[in-house]
Amino acid sequence: MTVHQQQPVPDTVRDLGALGEPDYVDLFTLTADDVGRWPPERWARVMIEDIAGRGGQFIFRVLLGMRLASRHSFNHIAGWRVAASDDEHVRLEATSWFLRSRMVVRVADGQVSLATFMRYDRHLAAAVWTPLSALHRTLAPGLLRDAHKALRGLLALAAVTSQGLPTRRRVPGVCAG
């Protein structure tokens, strides 16, 4: 399992962002044999809801001022609106009063990718996002790795529970405790 940042971001991924000419874009990709076991929406939920969790919500809602829906509302992931989804990708959208953002999770060819797009609607956006983007680039590889571990853990748990939990058997002549 490897994670790397791709530069430049391929046009096929830029097109999925549907943000025209973004002011900021990055792309991180994890390569592993089993990434195709889970659809893009599941990857996005685990990365953004479970792994990023409250820390992500603080960054999105407080530092970036994003207007997000309830974390558990229909057709949203961690409050981000699901704007497009198919078997290969999911695009999430959120806005604040000074920027627009898109996140795309794509699963294809033994890889899962997380792309982040930002459009600055006010000058303040660059001042806020530039230092946060350094933190984002530090955390993004861990989101992919930790989501992969979590999904593999859920798969292992499902395998155990589908076989049933071990039961205690009584052995004749041995006192059961």
pLDDT value of position 172: 46
> Is residue 87 a contact partner of residue 114, using CB atoms and an 8 Å limit?
no
Residue 155 is predicted with a pLDDT of 62
pTM: 0.85
Min mean pLDDT across 8-12, 44-48, 91-95, 99-103 is at 8-12
Neighbours of 9 (CB within 10 A): 18
Q: Are 112 and 142 in contact (CB under 8 A)?
A: no
pLDDT attached to residue 157: 58
Q: How far is CA 36 from CA 32, 71, 110, 113, 151, in A?
A: 9, 26, 6, 12, 11
73 — pLDDT class (breaks 50, 70, 90): confident
pLDDT for the residue 70: 84
Q: What is the mean pLDDT of residues 20-35?
A: 95
| pLDDT single digits (tens) 136-176 | 999 999 999 999 999 988 665 555 555 555 444 444 444 44
The percent of residues above 70 in pLDDT, for the chain, comes to: 86
Q: What confidence score (pLDDT) does residue 156 get?
A: 59
Task: Identify the pLDDT of residue 20.
Answer: 85
Looking at 1.10.150, 3.30.530, 3.40.50, 2.60.40, the CATH number of the domain 2-162 comes to: 3.30.530
CB atoms within 10 A of CB 58: 12
**Kind and range of the H or E element at 29?**
strand 24-31
The secondary element (H helix, E strand) that includes residue 95 is: strand 89-95
Q: Does residue 81 surpass a pLDDT of 70?
A: yes
Q: State pLDDT tens for residues 94-125.
A: 999 999 999 999 999 999 999 999 999 999 99
Which DSSP string do the residues of 133-144 spell out, in sequence order?
HHHHHHHHHHHH
Question: Which residues, 6 or more positions from 55, have their beta carbon under 8 angstroms from its beta carbon?
Answer: none
